[in-house]
Amino acid sequence: MIDIRFLRENPEKVKENIRKKFQDQKLPLVDEVIELDKQYRAAITEADGLRGERNRLSKQIGGLMAKGQKEEAEAVKKQVAESAKRLEELEALEEELQKKVTDIMMIIPNIIDDDVPVGRDDSENVEIERFGEPVVPDFEIPYHTDIMESLSGIDLDSARRVAGNGFYYLTGDIARLHSAVLSYARDFMIDRGFTYCVPPFMIRSAVAQGVMSFAEMDAMMYKIEGEDLYLIGTSEHSMIGRFIDRIIPEESLPLTLTSYSPCFRKEKGAHGLEERGVYRIHQFEKQEMIVICKPEESREWFKKMLQNTVDLFRSLDIPVRTLECCSGDLADLKVKSVDVEAWSPRQKKYFEVGSCSNLSDAQARRLKIRVDGEKGKYFAHTLNNTVVAPPRMLIAFLENNLNADGSVRIPEVLRKYMGGKEVIG
């Protein structure tokens, strides 16, 4: 959510930003919120005037009564009563107008960074850099679920009977590999100075609305029936929510956190061949990184966080590339986002395994996360990035470490988490 003062002073810039995101249907909202804000501020001004007048008249009544001028005092009392009635109307109007302004401001997208490429959707994202040499072996790479099944590592049929499509059982060495990757990612981030956390896996609606747009909530979140609770789609949701209504001492920044959680997603509109198996699912586990920092430091932290993910994948011998998300592919709260894509030898192309995002002060403004600094209080900047998210990450791992005989090589950094195994098969 952007600052109402910025919108008031820069309406054309806000409209241009909306056009860049190809959301022209939201253009009328800018003028609408300016008019509502004008009415809101006028109501506040009138109400403040009435309160001042009420105080003055109250003192006048006391003076008149002391002089025995009862009739004049009653007339002033009548005037105070009329003012009180109008004040009550104005206070109700203030509340109504403030809600309307807030509701619209929650829909208007954040101002994207100047270097974000303009494009309608993810087909217009721009490649930034490649890390590692993509390799296509001289033997056929099976589909990822076929690799897992050959190692007695997955049971999709039972999962469908138990929970439906989009769920899975992992077993044996594949289940162990899944846990090993998460444990390695946890320790990798701890070694880079991040504090490890395990957050709540459910959040209240006030937190959900603070960390994402309404469109994202509808597409992603599972609601707990009869409760003001939602299952998290990523630990970012509850990790940022941890600081709701909090004033953070400036000297404690930056807060660098890495969190583990299961993630639950509706995945509305999921389709396509690569969504078969465990590519796009309703439940998975993830290691995340979160940074809360000063506004002037968020760009530098964005680069550091992105590099952490690249370094982790390269330590597992998986080639990756980074893609700058275009304007139309950015969620409304984000000012900048870069996807990390891993190489798939089977598909002979890259596919998404994570995303690094800078949300500037949008989440902090919604959740009232402020910093107490030398020059006063201000809203923090929040950033998040995927460290690893198996089982999707396992697809890249299995394909890039598969041997010709169907066994899977375990990179050295993972072996201590796999009981010393160098190969599974």
Residue corresponding to tokens 């995927």:
386
**CA–CA separation, 356 and 322 (whole Å):** 10
Torsion of CA 324, 330, 335, 339, to 10 degrees: -30
Instruction: Judge whether 324 counts as a catalytic residue.
Output: no
The residue type at 218 = D
Distance CA 114, CA 333 (A): 15
Give the position of tokens 């990822």: 144
Handedness of CA 284, 200, 303, 112 (dihedral sign): positive
Q: Tell me whether residue 124 is one of the annotated catalytic residues.
A: no
Task: Tell me how far apart the alpha carbons of residues 219 and 265 are, in angstroms, rounded to a whole number.
Answer: 8
- 265 labelled catalytic: yes
Cα 283 from chain centroid? 18
| Given 186, 265, 346, 365, the catalytic residue | 265
Are the CB atoms for 255 and 292 separated by under 8 Å?
yes
Active site residue 392: yes
130: closest CA among 313, 295, 377? 313
Sign of the alpha-carbon dihedral angle for 416, 236, 268, 28: negative
423's tokens: 């190969």
One-letter amino acid identity for 84? A
Burial of 65: CB neighbours in 10 Å, binned 0-12, 13-18, 19+: middle
| Residue among 352, 407, 409, 415 flagged as catalytic | 352
Q: How far apart are CA 260 and CA 178, in angstroms?
A: 13
Catalytic residue selected from 130, 192, 204, 280: 280
Annotated catalytic residue within 242, 321, 346, 392? 392
Q: 213 an active-site residue?
A: no
Alpha helices, DSSP H only, in 197-347? 205-211, 214-220, 235-241, 298-315
User: Phi first, then psi: what are they for 211, rounded to 5°?
Assistant: -100, -10
Which entry of 355, 357, 366, 399 is annotated as an active-site residue? 355
Active-site residue list: 265, 280, 352, 355, 392
